[in-house]
Amino acid sequence: MGFVEKRDVYRPSTGEAPFRIDELFFSRTDKRGVIKSANYIFKRVSGYEWDELLGVPHKLIRHADMPKGVFWLFWEALNNGQPIGAYVKNKAKDGLYYWVFAIALPFNDGFLSVRLKPTSKILGVIEKEYETLLKAEQADKLTPEQSAAILLTQLATLGFENYAAFSSDALMQEFSARDKGMGNPVNPAQTKFNKMTAAAVSLKSETEALTVGFDAISTVPTNMRIIAARLEPSGGAISSLSQNYWEMSEEMSRWFQNYVSGTGSNFSAIGHTLVISQFYCGAARLLQESAEKFSGERRSLGGLDAEKEKANMHDVAATFIEKARLGLTQVAHEAEHILRAIAMMRRFTLGLSSTRVMCNIESARLPSGGGSLVDVIDQLEQFQGNLVGQLDRIETHGHCILENASTLLTKDSRVVIRH
């Protein structure tokens, strides 16, 4: 392979442009995407001179391998005032390519972006997804919006509920791979987010299973009344007890639906809030590191004011940290709500258990032929055993979320994002 020397950096004649794992890109544009500021890393890796970069649309470095749907998602978020993260393949002036994981956000009358070198396993997955999506765009003449919809569907098959969940998870995985590659210790804040995210996923699974359990048991008390009617006089003890059991289980199911499993419940907001808070923390960390790297710039920045750009990034990072703190406060509040809800569910369960035991006692007094009634009561016992186990697990997940969110909520905001 031939090499072309440019100042103190050697570049291959083909393939990937030199871009180290410890380096970060920075650029700021106006609302039309015209580059107003950048750091030396951006200039060096892209291969352009300052007069070729500044005042030029950012699409100057766009690579033909990039699907239009990705940029549709990018601009949809930015135009709605939201930050976003994405894998992007760029093209340097000399034809070399380089991948970045970019976070971009609205800033004043334009946009600000910081990019790191992706080194996690996700990049390989994304390369294949982009390749497939690009072929679909070309073969089916898809609009950017249609392409974006396909990408979201593909991400869903990979386990991501929406694009925000994907970009938040990708940013954290890139940080993990980058820290490992640079020999840095594991970031404690990231570990806590990982624990909370895993707990939130398990919490959702357990609450969904509980809903299924309530649906499955809904007809059992009715069956019990029908059987009891054949075995005891009208209005007998078991018929009355089974009616009470049915009423209590229905009340418990309605309460659970309203306050726990419903789409508008507080529980359902935990996962989304964690995703957003985690992304804000990661973005703040990236902005702060990029700002600090400006202090080490020894090259000309094309007449740009490095101190002003550093201040801009620190200001945005502080805003993101505050948003993350607000999100974590909400998460902690909802975790407390979970624990209160579990206490309420246990009281419901105690009432069900008492009624079931009384049914069992009364069934033993019936004449022969009550075997089928015993079978139904056994179903109730199995349901309640599953219920208690599910409540225990939900409570454990709630404690995990509360403890980790509370640890991150510290007066020293740096603890949220730094080692």
3-state SS string for the chain: CCEEEECCEEEECCCECCCCCCCEEEEEEECCCEEEEECHHHHHHHCCCHHHHCCCEHHHHECCCCCHHHHHHHHHHHHCCCCEEEEEEEECCCCCEEEEEEEEEEECCEEEEEEECCCCCHHHHHHHHHHHHHHHHHHHCCCHHHHHHHHHHHHHHCCCCCHHHHHHHHHHHHHHHHHHHCCCCCCHHHHHHHHHHHHHHHHHHHHHHHHHHHHHHCCHHHHHHHHHHHHCCCCCHHHHHHHHHHHHHHHHHHHHHHHHHCCCCCHHHHHHHHHHHHHHHHHHHHHHHHHHHHCCCCCCCCCCCHHHHHHHHHHHHHHHHHHHHHHHHHHHHHHHHHHHHHHHHHHHHHHHHHHHHHHHHHHHCCCCCCHHHHHHHHHHHHHHHHHHHHHHHHHHHHHHHHHHHHHHCCCCHHHHCCC
| Mean predicted lDDT score pLDDT of the chain | 84
Give residue 228's pLDDT band: very low, low, confident or very high (50, 70, 90).
low
Domain boundaries, the chain: 3-116, 189-416
pLDDT single digits (tens) 353-391: 777 777 777 666 666 545 566 777 777 778 778 888 888
Q: Is the pLDDT score of 233 beyond 70? A: no
pLDDT of 61 strictly over 70: yes
**pLDDT cut 70: percent of the chain above it:** 81
CATH class of 3-116: alpha beta
Tell whether the model's pLDDT for residue 415 goes beyond 50. Answer: no
- What is the per-residue pLDDT for 412? 45
pLDDT in tens, 168-226: 999 999 999 999 999 999 888 889 999 999 998 888 888 778 777 777 777 766 777 67
Backbone angles phi, psi at 36, to 5 degrees: -105, -25
For the segment 20-42, what is each residue's pLDDT rounded down to a tens digit?
A: 999 999 999 999 999 999 999 99
Say what the pTM is. Answer: 0.83
In angstroms, the Cα distances linking 356 to 221, 351, 361, 414 are 10, 9, 9, 54
User: What pLDDT band is residue 134 in, cutting at 50, 70 and 90?
Assistant: very high
Which whole-number Å values give the CA distances from 58 to 20, 155, 298, 302, in the listed order?
22, 26, 24, 17
**Residue 179 CA, distance from chain mean position:** 20
Would you state the pLDDT for residue 156?
Answer: 94
The closest alpha carbon to 267, from 316, 205, 315, belongs to: 205
- Measuring CA to CA, how many Å separate 304 from each of 290, 309, 310, 406? 15, 8, 11, 41
pLDDT bin (cut points 50, 70, 90) of residue 240 is confident
- The pLDDT value recorded for residue 236 is 65
Higher pLDDT pick, 22 / 11: 22
